Copies of this chain bind each other. A is one copy, B any other.
Amino acid sequence: MPETVVGLPPAGSAPAGGSRVLIRSDLVILSGAAVFVALSGITHYSHANAVVAFVCSAVAVALLASLVGRSVEQLGDRFGAGATGVLQSALGNLPELFIAFFALRAGLLTVVQSALIGSMLANLLLVMGAAFLVGGLKHGTQKFAKSRARDTCVLLALATAALVLPSMAQYTHSPAEPHVRSLSDAVAVVLLLLFVLSLPAALRRHDGDPAAGAATAAGAATAAGARQAAAEEAGPGHEAPRWPLWLAIGLLALTSVAAALVSDWFVTALEPTIHTLHVSEAFAGLVIVAIAGNAIENVVGIQLAWRNQADYALSVVVNSPLQIALVLAPALVLLSLFTATTFTLVFAPMLVAAVVVTVLIVSLIVFDGESNWLEGATLIGLYAIIAAAFWWG
């Protein structure tokens, strides 16, 4: 029997009572999360070394983000593929939202803006690059059916264009401060409106629905779907276990509260850590915070490429930055009305340049319809160069 990989259910595990449906990988992450939440609580309240506290809370955040994702999937699973997508896109970025909210409250605007773009770059360059590298080395050139990934990619390009327009307005005709804020608010409202408009179609969606293309904004291609597909591939007798409703809701509530708590500690430890390690706020946001918030779920895309499900891998990887642009960024703009720091969509020019170049490159690759390991290695190289630009910036 093949060993269970993180995030994919073991073949042959039978669904049963509450405790037995938590498959091995769930239990590993759950216990890990408990340990690291405890550790970060201790280091936080004992005023331990900031870097140690930061590392503990970063690991705890990453594990909790994974658990929130899994609870959402299990919850959505009861209401069909459409509901899973909608719940995922609405709640899947909850941990990142908590971190951003506390960081804004702490006045770390640069960190939050860099982390937002950094999450997009980490997915589109680092995770996609790793998926292509791993998949290409194992299976040679990988082809992917074009339409699903392309639809998501077109929406990503559209959302990114909207996201960077306030920055362009700022840097090209420097309007007065309140006007930029209005423009930023308008973009946030438009993006959220598009997301809300896409929800009914997404809820109606079933796999194999010809209109599924239109529904990608609400998270058609999720890690949940990917796991399901893997389970279905394993045969009818090998269904993924389904958690009972109380477990899904309970775990979602518990991990969300824990994520909120730990996010606070994470942000508290972040500032002294930046000073101790002599990194810029921009680099801390772009690389460290961005990776902590996405680490474990990102593994799914790479696993799928390894299993030669290149099409699904690509959809999962491109869908995550789409949700950031379409839901997380505008939500932060509106939420920041309740924090001391106003979060506007005016990003540092280098962030704009990096995300525009990245989306263009990814569009070319998605439209090419195939990938190889050298493209993967080049994507990783590009991520390293961008990170270096902010390291020395």
Contacts and interface: CB of A to CB of B under 8 A. Distances in A.
Given A173-B348, A210-B141, A393-B169, A375 B190 contact: no
B374 A194 contact: yes
B213 A162 contact: no
B214 A141 contact: yes
Interface stretch (A37-45, A81-89, A175-183): A175-183
A201 to B, nearest CB: 8
Interface in A172-223: 172-173, 175, 179-180, 182-183, 186-187, 190-191, 193-194, 197-198, 201, 210-211, 213-215, 217
Nearest to A161: B357
Interface of A: 136, 140-141, 147, 150-151, 153-155, 157-159, 161-162, 164-166, 168-169, 172-173, 175, 179-180, 182-183, 186-187, 190-191, 193-194, 197-198, 201, 210-211, 213-215, 217, 348-350, 352-354, 357, 360-361, 363-365, 367-368, 370, 372-375, 377-379, 381-382, 384-386, 388-389, 392-393
Contact of A197 (B151, B353, B377, B388): B377
B374 A172 contact: no
B151 A368 contact: yes
Contacts of A158: 361, 375, 378-379, 382
Nearest to A358: B161
Contacts of A373: 214
B151 A372 contact: yes
Nearest to A375: B154
A46 B346 CA distance: 48
Contacts of A161: 357, 360-361, 382
28 contacts: A136-B214, A140-B211, A141-B211, A151-B372, A154-B368, A155-B374, A155-B378, A157-B361, A157-B364, A158-B375, A161-B357, A161-B360, A162-B381, A162-B385, A168-B350, A168-B389, A169-B392, A173-B349, A173-B393, A180-B392, A183-B388, A187-B385, A190-B385, A194-B378, A197-B374, A213-B370, A214-B374, A364-B367
A191 B363 CA distance: 21
